[in-house]
Amino acid sequence: MKIYLLSFVVAFIVSLIATPVAKKLAFAIGAIDIPNEERRIHTKPIPRLGGLAIYFGTITSILLFLPKTHETIGIVLGATIIAVLGLFDDKYSLSAKIKLLGQVVAAVVLIISGVRIDWLSNPFGDGMIYLKSWVAIPLTLFWVVGITNTMNLIDGLDGLAAGIAVISSGSLFIVSLLNGRFATAVISIAIAGAALGFLPYNFNPAKIFMGDTGSMFLGFVLAAISIQGAVKSAAAIAIAVPILALGVPIFDTAFAIIRRLINGKPIMEADKGHLHHRLLEKGLTQKQAVLIMYGVSVLLGISAILISSSSEIKGLIILFISILFVMWGADRIGLLERQRKGTQTR
């Protein structure tokens, strides 16, 4: 436990110290988020690049406390590619195609290093289900690129993505401990420490945003460790563990895709129908909306932990209850409702 504590503390301190430096750098190179779109919540320019502090906090901890295995090196290299990609995007606003290409390259580096979904536990019997390369590689690419972008999409309120990252990585840390995954436990707790070190500067009212540098980096690393520490676990329905641990960004993105299809909108077109937008429409403040989403993330994280240590029947029951909870919440908030023409016009 000493190494885990040190990993957390080092990541936290480095991120806490590096955030003001990142803020100065953002002003120096002009990486500023200007609220020139209707869906923006903030009303004044805010510097980006806070993700650099999270990156340095996490990577410093990984390099200090983990052996340099192929998997560790792959995660570090892939995460560095993502961070550099995010840095350029925060400065120059890259096109979606270029960002997707960079994400795929980073995911390929991860796969080459040995981090991939090549087997799953069998929920219908003993043993494992081994996947052929033609299945494992596309599945891993889809998972890594998908989670990288879900964290990017959830970054819409002060402190939201950073707090969700702390909770999700904390859940994955416990799952990794339960499954004896030392490396993923260290990385998970490092992410939690780095994100928490950044949070005092990012919680409402935010002094700095993490930008795509931070949101994509967090999504990428969380995707990688969820493969090693959760998907390949002994749980009967192991695939449900990372989906619940990363539940808030995953479900929010899934509902956004379904909602846009219902309304005949392009899947990649931004809108104001995300969970945090809906909560603000209900009259909640930014802090209240963020705290509610923290609460939902904690509940889903607990469900993931319980599934990872439960029998098949208990795990299925927990999963069923979790899905019902998510669907009930989506219905109450109106995440899937058809947009009115008046709303579209405005």
The annotation places the binding site for Mg(2+) at: 152, 212
Contacts of residues 252-255 at CB distance under 8 Å and 24 or more positions apart, as own/partner, are 252/150, 252/153, 252/154, 252/335, 253/146, 253/149, 253/150, 253/153, 253/154, 255/330, 255/335, 255/336
Give the residue among 302, 127, 120, 147 at the shortest CA–CA distance from 221: 147
Query: What distance, in Å, lies between the first and last C-alpha atoms of the chain?
Result: 54
- What are the DSSP E strand ranges found in the chain? 32-33, 46-47, 119-121, 128-130
User: 85 and 91 in contact (C-beta within 8 Å)?
Assistant: no
Backbone angles phi, psi at 331, to 5 degrees: -70, -40
Task: Report the amino acid identity of residue 245.
Answer: A
Residue-by-residue DSSP string for 251-271: HHHHHHHHHHHHTT--TT---
Distance CA 249, CA 219 (A): 9
Dihedral of CA atoms 71, 223, 221, 68 in degrees, nearest 10, equals: -10
| Residues annotated in a binding site | 152, 212
The answer to whether 178 touches 222, Cβ cutoff 8 Å, is no
Q: Which tokens sit at 78?
A: 């892939």
